[in-house]
Every structure is written in C-alpha cells, then in structure tokens.
Amino acid sequence: MSETARGKPAAFLDRDGTLMEDSGFVGDPRRVRVLDGVAPALIALADAGFARIVVTNQSGVARGFFGEPDVVIVNHALKDELAVRGAAVDAFYYCTHLQGCECRKPLPGLVLRAVAEHALDLRRSVMFGDRGGDIALAHNLGIPGILVNELPGYDGPPPLHRARSLREGVAFFLESVHA
Ligand SMILES: [Mg+2]
Ligand SMILES: [Zn+2]
C-alpha cells in the first residue's frame, strides 16, 4: 500500500465521447475525431502531475462488429491525432467484453490493473467520462467523477461536476478539487 501511496495520481479518461467523437462502435481509425479542447486538457493534467490513463469499454469486439486488433489500431490513431496537437496519454486499457468479466465499466477491473501496473495513487485520482457508467465507476472506486459532454438521458449517479467539455471539466477539477 505504501508503494501505491507514493505513486502518481491519475486522471482516468473515457475514450469515445470524452476524448474523441462517439460515432458508435468505432473500429475504423479513419473515424477518429479528437474533440475540441482535449489536447490542452491532457497537457494541463500532465503539468499538474497526473498520469493520463484511458479506460474504455469496447464491446464491439464481443458483439462481432470488429476485432481486438481494430481497438488497438483506433487507439493508435487517437494517439497520433493527439501527438499532432502536442498531447499524449500514458496508457490505454480496454474491455472487449459484454458480460461475465471484471473489467467492463462500471466494474473497476481496468482501473485496478492500471493502478497496479503504473503504481498509481488511486486516492488522489479522478475519472472523466460522458456516460453514467463512467461516473458509476468513479463512485465504485471512491474517486471524483466528472461528467463531460453530457447527452440527454443521463442514467448514472450524480457526478461531482458537469462540464460542457473535457477542457472545462479538467479546469474545474484542477482549480476546485485538486488545488
Ligand atoms: Mg463514452
Ligand atoms: Zn471486460
């Protein structure tokens, strides 16, 4: 535990609808569109000492829409698009399942793996996402959950904060919570 307590805090980030457009089961890298303000938000998190860890449900694999290699290819395309904008993330964790696993958000499996593999300090970490499952995951982990790019019909627990974009959500967190 003391090892973890000395680790970096992390910003856990949903992928589709948070970092890039959610056009529904994205298995084609040509459909990667980084959302406005994402690059400066990721840079601000890094400057504040946060690891940036993407945690994403990709049940398109279990549903047979695309293969696991396509998830990796899309992740790489996102990484490239971020690099063009001078930004980066530290790691991608994804769940390919639809049920019967321990990693599909809001289950904590992806985050717990990331915490172990990167020696992160979970207690000082934060989750950003656009869906109820992202905020439910934050609740399950006992960390702040910040809802960004909210869609009609939100079905999750109350987020700590609602922001119109990741950039605004990150600014709120760094100024009001982390400070
Ligand atoms: Mg999403
Ligand atoms: Zn899973």
CATH of the domain at 41: 3.40.50.1000
Gap from CA of 17 to ligand 1 centroid (Å): 4
How many angstroms is it from 85 CA to the middle of ligand 2? 31
Looking up tokens 């979970």, which residue turns up? 122
Task: Give the ligand at the shortest distance from the Cα of 71.
Answer: 2
Q: Compute, in angstroms, the gap from residue 16 CA to the centroid of ligand 1.
A: 4
Q: pLDDT tens, 14-67? A: 999 999 999 999 999 999 999 999 999 999 999 999 999 999 999 999 999 999
Locate 85 and state its tokens. Answer: 């904008």
d(CA 78, CA 150): 21
- Distance (angstroms) between ligand 2 centre and the Cα of 113 equals 12
Question: What pLDDT, on the 0 to 100 scale, is given for residue 177?
Answer: 85
Known catalytic residue: 80? no
Would residue 14 show up in a list of annotated catalytic residues for this protein? Answer: yes
Closest ligand relative to 100 C-alpha: 2
Domain of residue 77: give its range: 2-177
Q: Report which bound ligand comes closest to the CA of 20.
A: 1
Mean pLDDT of the 136-148 span:
98
Q: Which of 14, 22, 70, 134 is catalytic?
A: 14
Ligand 2: centre distance to CA 66 (Å): 16
Neighbours of 9 (CB within 10 A): 18
Buried b (16+ CB within 10 A) or exposed e, 96-133: bbeeeeebbbbbbbbbbbbbeeeebbbeebbbbbbbbb
Q: What is the pTM of this model?
A: 0.95
pLDDT, tens only, 72-101: 999 999 999 999 999 999 999 999 999 999
Percent of the chain scoring above 70 in pLDDT = 97
Q: Indicate the number of domains in the chain.
A: 1
HSE of 80, CA atoms in CB hemisphere, 13 A:
10
